[in-house]
Amino acid sequence: MPGPEGELGGRPCDLRLAELAYNQIMTTQGESHATPDESVPTPGSVRNGGRVGSRRVIAWASALAVLGVGGWVVSRPHPGDLLPGLGSTSNDRSLVLGTPAPTSATDPNPFDANRYFPSSKPVEVNNYKGKRTSARQGPDCSEILQDQGVLKGTPCQGYLALSFTRNDGKVLSSVTVLRFADEATSNQVVQLLRGQGAAVRFVLPDATVASPSATAGGKPVDPAPRVEAVRHYVTITTSRFADGHPPAAPVDPDLDEATRACSYTAGAAFMWTMGS
């Protein structure tokens, strides 16, 4: 996915924006279909060539001025942007249960699922393509813990629990983000959670929570969750098949791919959002 200085429509973003502004100005001044590919008058021909050349020079100057004003918007990503710097989707509203954890001096921005993971923003990592389908959130982390003693008394300052669905509907992923006071605490929690199995509840596309998948013998078969520390947050990610069938191998390629993609997506949301 191109960043703020990537390409749009096969041309650099800033050139394309200048073209659009130029065309709009020339159309309103009576020259339709004017493009920067046409010969632009030199300063000498402007002095000798009359009003059309003057209008083109003025139009280009105006287009560059528009680009200069708009450059701040293009170059400043915002959490929830559909494309970095090209417009916020943070007003997105889909199925989210609960209220965000309260803000603080350390976390002045709302710890809100729609802010960090708008459902209209696709998840595209390598070959994985999916979207966020629902979420739960709240200040009380015990609501989302499968094992209430797993944190061993470590204070948790709120959670997001997100459901992602692969575009073909066959693979579901659940990502839980736990917030702590500082990075030292989040690193300690990662050591507690790794290898613990179903430490948190699995969130389904309708925002309900599921019990761990089990074989006929009653043993959980969900793959071990991927647990990562990102600043003072901990992300816990796992995936399962939508129809409930168990994976054929301990490391199923479809589930592993989905887990890695959603874990990366969750971490990236907080890695680049300083002051959140």
C-alpha distances in angstroms, 40 versus 27, 35, 57, 108? 16, 9, 8, 50
> pLDDT tens, 179-234?
999 999 999 999 999 877 778 999 999 999 987 665 545 555 678 899 999 999 99
Element (H, E) at 138: strand 128-138
Distance CA 40, CA 72 (A): 27
> pLDDT tens, 11-66?
444 444 445 544 554 444 444 443 334 433 333 433 434 444 555 545 445 544 44
What pLDDT score was predicted for residue 85?
A: 41
Distance CA 273, CA 29 (A): 43
Dihedral sign, CA of 118, 132, 160, 206?
Answer: positive
| Percent with pLDDT over 70 in the chain | 61
Comparison of pLDDT for 46 and 248, the residue scoring more: 248
pTM: 0.65
Distance of CA 94 to the CA centre of its chain: 15
* Secondary structure, 3-state, 101-120: ECCCCCCCCCECHHHHCCCC
Q: How many CB atoms lie within 10 A of CB 106?
A: 12
